[in-house]
A and B are shown apart, each in its own frame.
Chain A
Amino acid sequence: MAAGDGNAVSIELGHFALILAFAIAAVSTVGGYTYWRSGQRIALVLSQGAVLQFVLVAVAFAALIQAFVTSDFSLLLAVNNSHSLKPLIFKISGVWGNHEGSLVLWIFILVSFGAMVAAFGRRLPDDLLALVLATQSLLTAAFSGFTLFTSNPFERVFPAPMQGNDLNPVLQDIGLAIHPPLLYAGYVGFSICFSFAIAALISGRIDQAWARWVRPWTMLSWIFLTLGIAMGSYWAYYELGWGGWWFWDPVENASFMPWLAGTALLHSALVMEKRNALKIWTIFLSIITFSLSLLGTFLVRSGILTSVHTFASDPTRGMVILALLALVIGGAFALFAFRASSLRQGGLFAPVSREGALILNNLFLATAVGAVLVGTLYPLLLDALTGTTISVGAPFFDLTFGALMAPLLLVLPFGPLLAWKRADVIGAAQRLIGAAALAIFATILISALGGVSISLAPLGLLLGFWVAFGAIAELVDRSRLGKIPLRESWRRLVGLPRTAFSTALAHFGMGVTVLGIVATTAWETELVTTLNPGETAELSGYVVAFDDFQQVPGPNYLSDEGHFTVTAPDGGTRQMLADRRTYVASGMPTTEAAIETYGFSQLYLQLGEPLDDTHVVRIWHKPYITLIWLGAILMALAGVVSLTDRKLRVGAPQRARKPVASPAE
């Protein structure tokens, strides 16, 4: 399809909008840092600038989407990543399924958060708001500049080819439509914490109020990141075709490190908000969390992960991101080193106290970040410095990360039961006896049912149950359940602040995820066999009958379909369809596994390549595997509950003021 005139105009309009957004961001940065003391006026101007950046980047993003949707192959990006036969949803998601487009998505989310601060931040002091928006503008300017100068998504081709090269088939999935935007929303959302930290360091305004302003933004980003990582994990699980759900891949680690740091930040900001302590550390974590997001962007975008040598052979993009990284992170830490000592330490507390518990949490989470960071970067650095190539893979991370998480999970249930300032650890232990007994009982029960196959499995289960029941123990304790009449308990429970529920729910979710991980690791069963239509196989009590094999054309692929009937141990039967697809444009094959959920467990069935006139069929039974993602969803939900708490709401009551900047179109 040749480019229509209307599209040609809108592509250039989008290009122009991005350039204009870059210019406005640059001006806002300089103006903001120069005049941040000028009070309400500068805050208002920068707010308008933030909204304007949002509108302009939205126009640029919309122009790209339109070009993809209408298959305008005068746009180089569309030629490389789209195809006119592709379903609409994948045409849209194809916009960010590549380097240039994903950067535009990154910037779009950055300016969205900036505009949200401008919209909801009216109650902030003018100087703080001005500095936050100036810092956001600095980031926008840096990344839109990087995009425009080294990775311009608006490049055109003439004459326009008739057809595009299609998007990588593995990426043509609903998961890709949702996963990157969620993940980026989390990554980039932490830029707000970063900007707040910079603003605090410059203005010297750092107190409990600061923590209260930052916490909802941290929470919001953390929710997105939690969901994004869980979504990515589930996507890999069903799309890559062998049922792995976490690989400790550098790219995964790149998203996991900001999550760990963000989790630590949520907890330390709590101490700062309630007790005016841990101020320096909280500021430090705010900077670190976003720096890890930037590092992730660098690792993924520079190509350094594939090989140090590919990076060296085409270093432009990588070097520019590295320079940006050095500038932003280095600048932030220089400012931190220069100003942190001027911050006064706040409230005092005994080692055994809620504060002490949260510090312990931060110690383990921060060490875990360090361990994952070292494991991820070590092979790259070793190769670059000595030329020695080693691999640091899943077995290493399982060991080090697991060793750090076990003690954290072990003490986790104590935290919420300890009082601020000075606490009674024996008293907390007494209130956890019920949870401990339940956890032991549940572990024995489940181990007896599942059979002990790995020696560490019961310990892992015990830890998971302990965390889950321990989380509920706090609610039980605070409602004095069993100690006072039931109705009175109920009244107390309902009267508890939302944050008590969100804490309990988040920790419960953590326990659930641990249980899923342990159970599926310990009791997963697998069968690799050859089957012909008409034959059956059996695994863990499930009888799989291979009914039929057909070749069926899809919209932009040809499909080999295997039809199966599965009889569960309870006698119920279900139909399953597993297929292998060959994409027309690229000739690339993918497999679409069939997955059936039984309770919390899943049966995972994959049709392999033909082997001597029969079909290779791989069957897995994955007990309780869905708990891994359910736990993550519970944690995200806990974040939402916390955000609805009156005190922490993002859109906390605000002064009415006339609306800023009408959309510039």
Chain B
Amino acid sequence: MTWLRALLLVLCLVSPVAALSPDEVLPDPVLEQRARHISAGLRCLVCQNQSIDDSDADLAKDLRVLVRERLVAGDSDEAVRQFLVDRYGEYVLLNPRLNNHTLLLWIAAPGLLLVGLGTLLVLARKKRVVTAGLSAEEQAALDELK
């Protein structure tokens, strides 16, 4: 069903091509690497689930340039992200931060795993009790055999 996703994607893009243009690339490879890493975690706000690194939308291009400007100005990675969150809200982060709103999201997976493990332990203990003796029915069947 990826095709449907593609359809949505096309609606917001001029064309579905890779994003980064040569004119945006920073001369410093270390800084550029950091920019790419940050971009991959930022949402293209007008697109369907795409990072600004993947998107060809004009807004994504503006944001890519903005990220690079902040980096050149000496911001840390976290400061760049914070700068964008201040402007566009938490929605811009593809990896949501842990806060009141996302607490359930973050504890869901480990929580489920623990609940599952707990259930298994309880069941295993119960089963051991069961195995300890024969049920009345089984005892009767055994007596009959004797």
Contact = CB atoms under 8 A, between A and B. Distances in A.
Contact of A367 (B3, B51, B112, B131): B112
Contacts of A244: 54
B74 interface: no
Given A528-B21, A591-B16, A235 B105 contact: no
Nearest to B8: A306
Interface string A227-247: 000001101100111111001
A640 interface: no
A564 B91 CA distance: 41
Given A236-B2, A249-B49, A250-B49, A589 B91 contact: no
A316 B19 CA distance: 37
Nearest to A237: B2
A254 B1 contact: yes
Give the contact-size bracket for chain A.
35 or more
A170 interface: yes
B1 A374 contact: no
A249 B105 contact: no
Given A367-B112, A367-B116, A374-B109, A176 B91 contact: no
Interface in A374-406: 374-375, 378, 382, 386, 388-396, 399-400, 403-404
Contacts of B10: 168, 170, 588
Contacts of B57: none
Contact of B101 (A179, A348, A390): A390
Interface in A158-212: 168, 170-171, 175-176, 179-180, 183
Given A528-B21, A590-B16, A300 B49 contact: no
Nearest to B6: A170
B120 A359 contact: yes
B145 to A, nearest CB: 20
Contacts of B124: 351
Given A180-B3, A404-B109, A591-B16, A616 B49 contact: no
Interface in B82-130: 89-96, 101-102, 104-105, 108-109, 112-113, 116-117, 120, 124, 127, 130
A175 B17 contact: no
B17 A606 contact: yes
B105 A378 contact: yes
Nearest to A586: B10
Given A241-B17, A386-B101, A589-B14, A530 B91 contact: no
A180 B8 contact: no
A391 B17 contact: no
Nearest to B126: A345
B101 A97 contact: no
Give the contact-size bracket for chain B.
35 or more
B139 to A, nearest CB: 16
Contacts of B7: 168, 170-171
A296 interface: yes
Given A367-B109, A370-B108, A390-B102, A251 B116 contact: no
A367 B101 CA distance: 21
B4 interface: yes
A255 interface: yes
Of the listed residues B41, B50, B105, the one surrounded by the most CB atoms of chain A closer than 10 A to its CB is B105
Interface string B1-28: 1111111111000111111111101000
Given A351-B124, A591-B15, A393 B43 contact: yes
B105 to A, nearest CB: 5
A168 B20 CA distance: 25
A252 interface: yes
Given A183-B1, A375-B105, A391-B94, A242 B6 contact: no
B2 A400 contact: no
A404 B113 contact: yes
A254 B5 CA distance: 11
Nearest to B96: A390
B123 to A, nearest CB: 9
A399 B41 CA distance: 13
Of the listed residues A97, A232, A240, A363, the one surrounded by the most CB atoms of chain B closer than 10 A to its CB is A240
Contacts of A445: none
A611 interface: yes
A366 interface: yes
B76 to A, nearest CB: 18
B116 to A, nearest CB: 5
A403 B3 contact: no
B101 A382 contact: yes
Contacts of B14: 589
Contacts of A394: 40, 51, 94
Nearest to A176: B3
Interface string A581-599: 0000000111100000000
Nearest to B130: A348
A440 B108 CA distance: 34
A363 B113 contact: yes
Contacts of A391: 43, 49, 90-94, 96
Given A244-B54, A608-B21, A180 B92 contact: no
Contacts of B2: 179, 232-233, 235-236, 249, 251-252
A441 B124 CA distance: 39
B96 A589 contact: no
Given A251-B5, A392-B96, A528 B116 contact: no
A631 B92 CA distance: 34
A371 B105 CA distance: 9
A580 B15 CA distance: 10
A122 interface: no
A609 interface: yes
Interface in B29-74: 40-41, 43, 48-51, 54
A34 interface: no
A242 B50 CA distance: 12
Contact of B1 (A300, A400, A529, A591): A300
B127 to A, nearest CB: 6
Contacts of B120: 359, 363
Given A171-B7, A300-B1, A396-B94, A389 B113 contact: no
A275 interface: no
B3 A390 contact: no
B109 A370 contact: yes
B24 to A, nearest CB: 9
A359 to B, nearest CB: 7
Given A241-B16, A359-B120, A252 B1 contact: yes
20 contacts: A170-B7, A170-B10, A170-B16, A179-B1, A232-B2, A241-B16, A348-B130, A364-B113, A371-B109, A375-B105, A386-B101, A389-B89, A391-B92, A393-B43, A404-B113, A528-B18, A606-B17, A609-B17, A611-B23, A616-B21
Given A232-B2, A239-B6, A251-B2, 6 more contacts: A175-B3, A348-B127, A391-B43, A394-B40, A580-B17, A618-B18
Interface of A: 97, 168, 170-171, 175-176, 179-180, 183, 232-233, 235-236, 239-244, 247-252, 254-255, 296, 300, 305-306, 348, 351, 359, 363-364, 366-367, 370-371, 374-375, 378, 382, 386, 388-396, 399-400, 403-404, 528-530, 580, 588-591, 606, 608-609, 611, 616, 618
